[in-house]
Amino acid sequence: MTAPLWTSAEIEAATGGTASAPFEVGGITFDSREVEPGWLFVAMPGTVADGHDFVARAFAQGAAAALVSRPVEGVHLLVPDVAKALEDLARASRARMTGKVLGVTGSVGKTGTKEALAAALARRHPGKVHRSLKSYNNHTGVPLSLARMPRDSVYGVFEMGMNHAGEIRALVAMVRPHVALITAIAPAHIENLGSVEGIADAKAEIFEGLEPGGTAIIPNNSPYRDRLLKAARRHAETMVTFGSGDADVSALHAVRSDKGGSLVTARLASADLTYTIAQPGEHWVGNSLAVLAAVEAVGADLAAAGLALGDMGGLKGRGQRHRVAVAGGQALLIDESYNANPVSMAATLGSLAAERVDGRRLAVLGTMLELGAFSDEAHAGLAPAILEAKVDDLILVGEATRPLAAALDGKLPVTLVANAAEATDALLARLGAGDAVLVKASNGIGLASLVERVAGGSA
């Protein structure tokens, strides 16, 4: 019989709360729409809605109990502060974890790298690797992800994000990783942090939570490599760089595979490894090196990790590929709608350039948010990458992309629209058989709705 995720007695001990009756739960969520039978519903306070207002819905969907700060109808565990209680439960979950924990952050690529790392570890330990779901990487998502970790997990892989200094410091104090990995440093959230150096320092906070004897994994090709290494030295016993040049983990050979990904031979400390990456794009070569560095750091199976990288499918909003039925055949839609900054934009445009197409290359690019005073320069700066990608037709979404339209004036057809709905109409009006279209923007622009409407039920 499978052990429960939590018993009421364990939650009482962790939080100092009081249960109205004994219970056991097999899962946890603070979203009433996600509740499954036998789960604990966490009635989180919020600025827009209070989770207590959805307790009845959670019970109707089969919740076994609710974590609340005021009495409710139904089995519940009463605490003074629900958000603090969730953090306490997260710490208790981490304390009972006897396996290895890995933390991932970075300006770009952290969710994809987290997913690839979890898949690489799970290849040898199916069902025993826990990871952050979705992009649960903030002050509420990380505690929830920790609290969800099964007691018999062999590995835990947690993503941590931030948009202000100090946020990762608080998160990593709960996660306490044995391995801390930074994927890349780029001007994401620069509006709040003032400079890319400030971003690097904020990301480097992940090293502060390393367990004794821990390993820091750092991008070798970053201009901020030495800054990150200096920060890591204060907390890590071992530091590993990945990328090209003199990196500890590097690609000796990388070529495009027949199926659109890459065939790579990598050099690691313990061995050379040849493997295939299912995901297209040169940036995935770097992501894979980071994954293998982390796998090696925890002493896991490198060969199994290589096989897992070859089997990975695309992630929704982060490279998922759809074959879309259009007049006369099919078009390819590449969904990168979840997030965007100058570095990730350039990387995915490079992937579009490498795409073999029978028709045209199209791109729907939306505003990159949280760039502050750097916004005009950053958007206009994408022009060379678009031209190098040989984009035949470009749709730009949002007023902030106007400097990019000006930078491209006369060089290719550009349509500037106000929102995702207009972008969808514009794309549908021109998408043809054999075309490949890249869709990318910050999540707040809402281009996921474009993907849903255009791709529909396509594979």
C-alpha–C-alpha distance, residues 426 and 71, integer Å? 52
Please give the structure tokens belonging to residue 344. Answer: 């990730």
Average pLDDT over residues 382-409: 95
pLDDT in tens, 343-385: 888 888 988 888 888 999 999 999 998 888 889 999 999 999 9
**Whether pLDDT at 90 is above 60:** yes
Q: Which residues pair with 249 in a beta bridge?
A: 242
CB 322 within 8 A of CB 316: no
pLDDT in tens, 247-297: 999 999 998 887 778 899 999 999 999 999 988 878 889 999 999 999 999
Find the angle CA(217)-CA(223)-CA(226) to the nearest 5 degrees: 55
| Average pLDDT score over the chain | 92
pLDDT at 427: 96
Q: Which residues contact 385 (CB under 8 A, 6 or more apart)?
A: 345, 346, 349, 350
pLDDT in tens, 208-254: 999 999 999 999 999 999 999 999 999 999 999 999 989 999 999 99
If you search the block for the tokens 């970053």, which residue do you land on?
Answer: 222
- % of the chain with per-residue pLDDT over 70: 97
**Whether pLDDT at 459 is above 50:** no
CB-neighbour burial class of residue 56 (10 A; exposed 0-12, middle 13-18, buried 19+) = middle
pLDDT in tens, 303-313: 999 999 998 87
> pTM here?
0.80
Q: How confident is the model at residue 301 (pLDDT cuts 50, 70, 90)?
A: very high
Secondary-structure class of domain 320-455 per CATH: alpha beta
**Whether pLDDT at 22 is above 80:** yes
Nearest Cα residue to 93 out of 4, 31, 160, 214: 4
- % of the chain with per-residue pLDDT over 90: 76
97-311 CATH:
3.40.1190.10
C-alpha–C-alpha distance, residues 452 and 424, integer Å? 10
Please give the structure tokens belonging to residue 315. Answer: 């992630």
Average pLDDT over residues 26-35: 95
- Amino acid letter for position 408: L
Average pLDDT over residues 97-117: 93
CB 275 within 8 A of CB 120: no
DSSP 380: H
Give the start-to-end residue ranges of the domains of the chain: 6-80, 97-311, 320-455
pLDDT at 152: 95
- Domain range 6-80, CATH architecture: 3-Layer(aba) Sandwich (3.40)
C-alpha–C-alpha distance, residues 17 and 65, integer Å? 13
